[in-house]
Amino acid sequence: MNAERVANCARLVNLVIPGGGLILVGGDVSGVLIALLFTATASFSVAASLLLPGEVPATWRGLGIGVTLGTYVGAQVRFAQTLYHQRGRIADQARRAALHDARQALLDGQVEDAWRALQPLADQADTDLVLAYRVAQVLTARGDEVAARAAWQRVRRLDRHRIYRPETVACERTLSAPSPPAAGSDSPNSSEA
């Protein structure tokens, strides 16, 4: 069962049993506490309003209903926060793994493997300096001069603290230098006999 289906099922459980969805997505302690608080206040509110309305003052009934509703809303908010943080952690782990794999592949001389490792994150390179830097390195290693030049310009734009400035300048100079003539071809200055 994939993570999105689990999250959807947990969302439904959390709507029916506040705190239950938190327990399903790994928020065990907060889920149990919310479920216990909701159960206690809901039981008190039902008993005070329906079973013993004359025995419990209206203030206490109102307080019980208010705490029950607050607990319900709090459970939904806490559930949403937990999912948001989990998705952020998962995305960060995927980013770190892709950057590590790309770096290792580059060190091993496997340029295409490095490129494949970065592909799932390519759309984030416009805002992520480290990712933009790694993409520029890979494109340079692949020999894609036009894309590499654009990638190094993106690194220059994102690099406000000039962390990668020396390498950026060196790579941009290398990419804008004319390519040496192919082996075996006549140079433009050679005269015909």
Q: Are 17 and 25 in contact (CB under 8 A)?
A: no
How many domains would you assign to the chain?
2
Q: Please check whether residue 186 lies inside any domain of the structure.
A: no
pLDDT at residue 174, rounded to an integer = 86
Q: Please check whether residue 82 lies inside any domain of the structure.
A: yes
Q: Are residues 66 and 107 in the same domain?
A: no
pLDDT at residue 181, rounded to an integer = 52
Q: Are residues 83 and 130 in the same domain?
A: no
Using CB atoms within 10 Å of the CB of residue 71, give its burial: 0 to 12 exposed, 13 to 18 middle, 19+ buried: buried
Distance CA 150, CA 136 (A): 8
Q: Tell me the per-residue pLDDT of 120-158, one tens digit each, with 9 for 90 and over.
A: 998 898 999 999 999 999 999 998 899 999 999 999 999
Q: Please check whether residue 189 lies inside any domain of the structure.
A: no
Q: Please check whether residue 60 lies inside any domain of the structure.
A: yes
pLDDT at residue 4, rounded to an integer = 83
| Tokens representing residue 179 in the block | 């390519």
Kindly give the confidence (pLDDT) of every residue in the chain, 193 residues in length, as a single tens digit, with 9 standing for 90 and above. 577 888 899 999 999 999 999 999 988 899 999 999 999 999 999 999 998 888 999 999 999 999 999 999 999 999 999 999 999 998 999 999 999 999 999 999 999 999 999 999 988 989 999 999 999 999 999 988 999 999 999 999 999 999 999 988 998 888 876 655 545 444 444 333 3
pLDDT at residue 1, rounded to an integer = 54
* Closest of 90, 159, 178 to residue 136, by C-alpha: 159
pLDDT at residue 173, rounded to an integer = 87
Q: Distance between alpha carbon 127 and the CA centroid of its chain, in Å?
A: 13
Which CATH number covers residue 101?
1.25.40.10
pLDDT at residue 28, rounded to an integer = 86
Q: Are residues 69 and 129 in the same domain?
A: no
Q: Are residues 73 and 100 in the same domain?
A: no
pLDDT at residue 59, rounded to an integer = 93
Q: Please check whether residue 137 lies inside any domain of the structure.
A: yes
Q: Are residues 116 and 156 in the same domain?
A: yes
pLDDT at residue 193, rounded to an integer = 31
Q: What sections of the chain are H helices per DSSP?
A: 3-16, 20-24, 28-46, 58-107, 111-118, 129-142, 145-158, 165-176
Domain around 101: 96-176
21: number of Cβ within 10 Å: 29
Model confidence, pTM: 0.68
